[in-house]
Structure 1
């Protein structure tokens, strides 16, 4: 029998399938967001889903597939080319919060995830310039 104290969040919520579902729910909303969607690689949505789901799975105690494929996450560096202002942060956090809340996570996991996503979204802000107008 597995010691419950040894379980990771990854194990507790169902492994990679759960992180893929969470990520797909997030991207379902992002695709309709006029602030965020222009920042995402529409031609490589499946790649974006793969990268985010593997990163989250690894962060929450799953396999190191993300780092094996892409190296250290270097989140600030990877997001630096994008216009991540407080408005983009709020939009990203709104969609990720909705995705988390749509899943049936245990209350403690839900709280841990939402706290992490709030901190991570804040850390990605790299400008206070207004969102550029779409062409």
Structure 2
């Protein structure tokens, strides 16, 4: 007998994922290292992140259907992302996961994938100031 694979998106569900992203961007908007590289209005950023994470977690390909291949590193290249900023991003996500009650193995696996992704986005060394090179 074959077991059905676990699909993280189905385990988390669209409602919890939406709450997670909303909570996360509330933190990003207030984080001194992160808010300078994000738009003042995070509505569209939040919408795209929900699409991306849906797809990232094995749900429908919402992001690719509307925006094409994610090309994460290329899309993030214009923004000065240092190791410290990647860590700050991850801290905001971990706090958001705590607040919405995402826990257990599904959280651990999801967060570990985000660690790899965040570290892959690093494109600058040096100070974490807007426009730093």
TM > 0.5 fold call: yes
Counterpart position of 1:28: 26
SS at match of 1:131: coil
4+ residue segments displaced more than 3 Å = none
Distance in 2 between residues matched to 1:20 and 1:4, nearest whole Å: 28
- 1:64 maps to 2:61: yes
Counterpart position of 2:37: 39
Q: Please list the CA deviations of residues 58-83 of structure 1 after superposition, one character each: whole Å capped at 9, or x if unmatched.
A: 11111111100000000000110001
Give ranges in structure 2 of 5+ residues lacking alignment.
none
SS at match of 2:102: coil
Counterpart position of 1:13: 12
Q: Does the 8 Å CA contact 1:39/1:82 hold for their aligned counterparts?
A: yes
Question: When the two structures are superposed, what TM-score results if normalisation uses the length of structure 2?
Answer: 0.89
Paired residues, number: 130
The one of 101, 104, 123 aligned to 1:104: 101
- 1:125 maps to 2:122: yes
Give ranges in structure 1 of 5+ residues lacking alignment.
none
- Deviation at 1:104? 2.7
- Deviation at 1:46? 1.0
Q: Does the 8 Å CA contact 1:23/1:53 hold for their aligned counterparts?
A: yes
Distance in 2 between residues matched to 1:24 and 1:64, nearest whole Å: 20
Q: Does the 8 Å CA contact 1:101/1:110 hold for their aligned counterparts?
A: no
Computed over aligned residues only, the root mean square deviation of the Cα atoms, in angstroms, reads 1.8
Distance in 2 between residues matched to 1:53 and 1:133, nearest whole Å: 25
Q: Does the 8 Å CA contact 1:10/1:62 hold for their aligned counterparts?
A: yes
The alpha-carbon distance between structure 1 residues 46 and 133, as it changes in their structure 2 partners (threshold 3 A), is: closer
